Amino acid sequence: MELSAEQWRAIARTVIASRLIDEIEERELAPKGLVTYQFSAKGHEVFQVLLAELLNHEHDAATVYYRSRPFVLHAGMTYEEAFSGPLARRGSRNGGRDIGVVHNLVRRRTVTVLPASGDVGAQYTPAAGWAQAIGYYVRVLEDFSWDGAIAVALGGDGSVATNGFWSALTMATTLGLPLVFAIEDNGFGISVRSSLQTPGGNVANNLRSFRNLLVLDCDGADPAEAAHAAAEAIQTARSKRKPVLLRGRVPRLCGHSGADNQAYKTPEERAEEERRDPLPRLRSFLQRKGILSAQQWKELAEDVQKQVRAACEAALAQAEPDPSTATRYVFFDGQTIQQVGGQWSIVPPKHQWTTEPRTDGPRVNLIEAVRRTLACELERNRRVLIFGEDVGVKGGVHGATVDLQRQFGQERVFDTSLSEEGIIGRAVGMALAGLVPIPEIQFRKYLDPAMEQFNDCGTIRWRTNNAFAAPMVVRIPVGYSKRTGDPWHSVSGEAIFAHTIGWMVAFPSNARDAAGLLRAAIYANDPVVFLEHRNLLDTAPARTPYPGDDFIVPLGTAACVLEGTEATIVTWGDMVYQSLEAVRLAGRSVEVIDLRTIRPWDRERVLDSVRRTGRCLIVHEDTITCGFGAEISATITEEAFDFLDAPVMRLAPPDVPIPYNKGLMAAIVPTPERIARALERLLAF
């Protein structure tokens, strides 16, 4: 894959521009305090720009990191945008919401740059998700415009020690994904030498034993060698549909950031890095090739300098972001659809739903309602796919996907490696590619390794100023079971999800609501975490007739499951049935509100009930300190204080894990008897 003279001139233009932008920031803007986070890419430019030049398929995508500005510039980000990002001005890609080197770029010149993360190593599994989506488009959706596309994940040598790198590597090599891992090895992770990131300091050597992986190692600062290696990597991923590890050895001619003086490098190391500077090497290479003479290089550099200076002045002249917009785009506003990500950005759903459930069928368990809804939506919508540990042949450890792989095939219902980071990160990449991923996490505690991806996913719409979004539904069984509890499988933990920016949280208490809420989650234009209480999966209290394939429960609508006049109980999940039994034991007129969704929650339904009854008890299974009951209590106190005849009370487990012993568990989790006693105290006040 030989580059033309025109391509090399374009590469030179971007490399020169990137170096100038870095130097203006370092020498002028940062010392004046105009740029507060400064990350230079000096020394990395040629390797990155070559990759960007070679990514020319309309569905190519790349994930990047904080030192990737040369790559994003060559992909089409303007010089003015490059300045306005670190300056936090209104015209930046993110509108001043994020650090200027945390990039995103809807496809312009060469490649779609997926939303970056400020977390090291978080770029790899979303890239693997996009790479898997490429095959899905071709084989399942028969959209052959995706054929030959690839994904590239750029990262530094420090990132090869992270969970995300190894998870993505496992996915790429076991599934044969068209994914290039482009590792820019400058020998340092801030000040930590690469020998502490990977044995021997060379990840390429260490991965040569991996099957189904082409490993390439090159001098990333040498234009000819880097161009040859980058072309081989990209061509291999395209034509052979296999992953490639491309290590480019590059000098870091700057500190990790503007605050880093590099005192940890010896004078000899600094001198060697200066000797390997790719900018003069590119100039010499182009002169030898007869592409740019010394005079032509000088003229090009002068032209670029004029453009860069003008762009800097234009960025400095931009307005500050409007403070009133700071809260926009946490969630889809119902009108302004994101440019990339989710089914809404491609074909907005137009199906007619009903909020009236069918009642004429046999009663089903909650888990069966989930399974039927998943089967229905797999049949209805070919963008829907389900994955997780044991969801395939086994049908899920709780039975929610029984028979679905047989019905819909291994492309659409499949097992994953044992990596929750990989499950959620893969889902992010697939969602950004326009699919509707429904990953399953087997138990709430098991999500812990994926919280970095989970948190990043929720803020994608906001961080990119509504350019990107990654709608998905993450199903998680939570809480204790009818057989036992324990600290590892019985976590409820919904308050953490409520506090996680950008996620909706559904928590049904019965089969009817499970079907309706799950369908609403699948067609929401935001990520939704869907919690299924283990004690209700296959027990009698949660059984209802299956409500039909068009039934939907709008997210954010609570249900009154028992009317009353003396007090209100607000609860959700399994605690709905414990509370109903408590009301029966107490023999009083108490209204019971099943919240059904934690975020958004139905404030008006709750406030209306409390204003009528004058008393409120909030019951939940999550631990009491900073539990979601505290949010409800604060809202009632602020907005209905004049209607209260007693303080708002909460009943929840103390701040301990759920015990394994049943007797100990009963002493922790609210029981009908304890709820009834709390009601008596509330009513006696």
How many CB atoms within 10 Å of residue 171? Answer: 27
Check if the beta carbon of residue 552 is closer than 8 Å to that of residue 516. Answer: yes
**Considering only CA atoms, which of 24, 650, 679 is closest in space to residue 308?**
24
The 244-249 sheet, strands edge to edge: 112-113, 61-63, 151-156, 179-185, 244-249, 214-219
Q: How far is CA 240 from CA 141, 153, 237, 466, in A?
A: 21, 18, 6, 35
Q: Which residues contact 253 (CB under 8 A, 6 or more apart)?
A: 40, 42, 43, 273, 274, 277
CA separation for the pair 419, 449 (Å, rounded): 8
**Considering only CA atoms, which of 526, 622, 17 is closest in space to residue 282?**
17
Handedness of CA 24, 28, 32, 38 (dihedral sign): positive
Residue 476 β-bridge partners: 531
Name residue, tokens 């324990």. Answer: 486
Q: How far is CA 405 from CA 89, 141, 439, 582, 587, in A?
A: 49, 17, 14, 42, 49
Which tokens in the block code for residue 611?
Answer: 């204003």
- Letter string b/e over residues 309-328, b meaning 16 or more CB atoms within 10 A of that residue's CB: eebbebbeebeebeeeeeeb
For 492-496, the CB contacts below 8 A with 24+ separation are 492/444, 492/531, 492/573, 492/620, 492/621, 492/622, 493/444, 493/445, 493/622, 494/531, 494/572, 494/573, 494/598, 494/620, 494/622, 494/628, 495/622, 495/626, 495/627, 495/628
Name residue, tokens 């305090």. Answer: 33
**Considering only CA atoms, which of 554, 552, 558 is closest in space to residue 605?**
558
Which tokens in the block code for residue 129?
Answer: 């998700």
CA separation for the pair 476, 424 (Å, rounded): 12
Which tokens in the block code for residue 203?
Answer: 């990840």
Candidate list 59, 103, 256, 489, residue with the active-site label: 489
Note if 489 is an active site residue: yes
SS3 545: strand
Ramachandran region, residue 148 (left: φ > 0; alpha: ψ -120 to 50; beta: rest): left
Q: Is the peptide bond before 654 cis (omega within 30 degrees of 0)?
A: no
Name residue, tokens 């429960």. Answer: 553
CA separation for the pair 685, 666 (Å, rounded): 26
CA separation for the pair 154, 172 (Å, rounded): 15
Phi and psi, residue 153, nearest 5°:
-115, 115
CA separation for the pair 294, 313 (Å, rounded): 29
Which tokens in the block code for residue 372?
Answer: 């039927």
Q: Which residues contact 271 (CB under 8 A, 6 or more apart)?
A: none
How many CB atoms within 10 Å of residue 563? Answer: 11
Check if the beta carbon of residue 428 is closer than 8 Å to that of residue 439. Answer: no
- E strand or H helix at 489: none
Q: Which residues contact 386 (CB under 8 A, 6 or more apart)?
A: 374, 378, 401, 404, 412, 413, 414, 437, 438, 439, 440
Q: Where are the alpha helices (DSSP H) in 145-218?
A: 163-175, 203-206
So which residues are the catalytic ones? 489
